[in-house]
Amino acid sequence: MKAFVYDDERTIRNILKKTLQKEGLEVLAYENAKNAVENIQKEKPDIVFLDIFLGEDNGLEVLEKISTLEEKPYVVMISGRDDYNYIIEAMKLGAYDYIPKPFDISKIRKIVSELSNIIETKKAKDISAPEVVGKSVSMQNVFKLVGRAGIGNDPVLITGESGTGKEVIAKLIHKYSDRADKPFIAVNCAAIPPGLVETELFGHEKGAFTGADRSRKGKFLEANGGTIFLDEISELPYETQGKLLRVLQEMEVSPVGSNKVHKIDVRVIAATNKNLIKLIVEGKFREDLFYRLAVIEINLPPLRERKEDIPLLVDLFTKEALKKYKLKTGGFTEEAVEVLKKYDFPGNVRELKNIVNKLIALYRERPITPNILEQHIFSDTKISPSKNTWEELYIKEVKNMLMKNKKNIYLKLVEEAEKIVIEEVLKHTGGNISEAAKYLGIHRNTVHRKIDELDIDIKRFKN
């Protein structure tokens, strides 16, 4: 768990930090509340200890802002004053507890223990309602596989394009397994710096490397008894793949810098939008790890291949958006949904959800009509039933290559398509790789790698 401490007294900050670290928390301490809300939104601490009087900052005002966050931490107010009006106001604004100074260390430990139990229970049980619906044959087959996967503890590999909902399916498997009341820990392998992957997954001991001023639990130990979801598994460094394989074989982990071995009981679900067989051929992914992970394999179809599910998804996302924005009515007309069904959604379900949220946030209770879609979403995109020209060109190219007895057709066409997509996005962003990564729905490290692999001249796109 992670905790933030906000107090303008250095002694108090140090005492709280040491106390919380001894309880196994990762702690960041601040002497003022500058950018507090932004930091909390970004870092998502589980607990915040917040002084009422922070020099020029008012802790109660900060608490009020924190209480409006969609994902808010538990806040414990601390103050040198025990006036009843401050206590009442703090609790009214959503504080979990109020501790007057000088505080009792045992009281801090008691609160941490209480919140640890609450947070662990929440992590285990509060898996949001799956954002997945589908009456299409392809999704019905996915649901069947989810049911079969829920019965046992075998590793599962979920494949599919970016935005198809791989983490949602992973949560669904966990929900219908006998581990549903245990932790579900999600790890984005692409988001972890290569040098920190092992400590993130397996933990480390104090002093294991420069900057390791305390021991840390890895994600596997956090998930013990439950499920760990390894998203973008293809981005895992090759050396770490071998260590992961051993963990899967032995069901034990050894933290970096330690001789201790911890036995674990973890269900592993991995996901990727890459062709792992191709990566195996290229020597970038271990074949033995692939077969270990793919005991059960679930492939998620892109949204363009299950357009009959679009009305169901629009309905689901509309209900969520209306609840989020506290609206009683609003949503898409039948004509607008028909327009959406003619679009290919390169960003898949994620793109559709973004469209629904964006337009309901903008138009509130006003019906979303085709005109609104054309004005705000598809102004630069021609939507029509005949939008299959690119498919016809691909078919023609495949036939030509077959006629010429060409080999490696799949790899050549995929690489050509990748290069076109990435170059067009880079052109749109003026060569800004971070922005391009957002549009592409992949990590910027992956964009860098693709630029090298596909021999893309990034200088051509710089403004």
Residues of the chain with CATH 1.10.10.60: 389-461
**DSSP structure class, residue 459:** G
- Please state which of the four CATH numbers 1.10.760.10, 1.10.10.60, 1.25.40.10, 1.10.10.10 is assigned to the domain occupying 389-461: 1.10.10.60
The CATH classification number of 304-376 equals 1.10.8.60
* HEC string for 130-182: CCCCCCCHHHHHHHHHHHHHHHCCCCEEEECCCCCCHHHHHHHHHHCCCCCCC
The answer to whether residues 101 and 12 touch, using CB atoms and an 8 Å cutoff, is yes
Q: DSSP secondary structure string, 58-85?
A: EHHHHHHHHTT-SSPPEEEEEES---HH
pLDDT of residue 308: 94
**Mean pLDDT for each consecutive 10-residue tract of the chain (463 residues)?**
90 91 90 89 91 86 88 88 76 86 87 82 52 84 90 93 93 91 93 87 80 80 94 94 94 88 95 94 95 95 94 94 89 94 92 94 90 78 49 74 79 85 88 88 89 86 71
Taking the C-alpha atoms of residue 200 and residue 255, their distance in angstroms, rounded to an integer, is 10
Q: Which residues pair with 51 in a beta bridge?
A: 78
Taking the C-alpha atoms of residue 107 and residue 463, their distance in angstroms, rounded to an integer, is 58
21-28's contacts with Cβ under 8 Å and 24+ in sequence apart are 21/214, 23/109, 23/112, 23/113, 23/116, 24/217, 25/1, 25/112, 26/1, 26/2, 26/216, 27/2, 27/3, 28/2, 28/3, 28/4
Residue 31 token pair: 């002497």
Q: What is the layout of strands, in order, in the sheet containing 267-272?
A: 184-188, 227-231, 267-272, 156-159, 296-299
pLDDT of residue 130: 54
Residue 28 token pair: 């960041």
Give one word for 163, left, alpha or beta, with left for phi > 0 and alpha for psi -120 to 50: left
Residues of the chain with CATH 3.40.50.300: 137-299
Taking the C-alpha atoms of residue 175 and residue 122, their distance in angstroms, rounded to an integer, is 13
The residues near 33 (Cβ < 8 Å, ≥ 6 apart) are 6, 50, 54, 57, 59, 62
Cis peptide bond prior to 102, omega within 30° of 0? yes
* Residues belonging to the chain: 463
Taking the C-alpha atoms of residue 6 and residue 34, their distance in angstroms, rounded to an integer, is 10
Beta strands at 156-159 and 331-332: parallel, antiparallel or unpaired: unpaired
The answer to whether residues 203 and 246 touch, using CB atoms and an 8 Å cutoff, is no
pLDDT of residue 288: 95
Helix/strand/coil for 24? coil
Closest among 96, 236, 191, 161 to 421, alpha carbons compared: 161
Residues of the chain with CATH 1.10.8.60: 304-376
pLDDT of residue 387: 45
The gap from C-alpha 187 to its chain's centroid, in whole angstroms, comes to 8
Residues of the chain with CATH 3.40.50.2300: 2-125
**DSSP structure class, residue 269:** E
Taking the C-alpha atoms of residue 195 and residue 197, their distance in angstroms, rounded to an integer, is 6
pLDDT of residue 365: 87
Residue 458 token pair: 């990034």
Closest among 30, 31, 22 to 4, alpha carbons compared: 30
The CATH superfamily assigned to 2-125 is Response regulator (3.40.50.2300)
| Protein fold of 137-299 | Rossmann fold (3.40.50)
Residue 315 CA: distances (Å) to CA of 142, 149, 209, 357, 369: 20, 28, 51, 12, 15
Q: DSSP secondary structure string, 278-342?
A: HHHHTTSS-HHHHHHHTTEEEEPPPGGG-GGGHHHHHHHHHHHHHHHTT-SS-EE-HHHHHHHTT
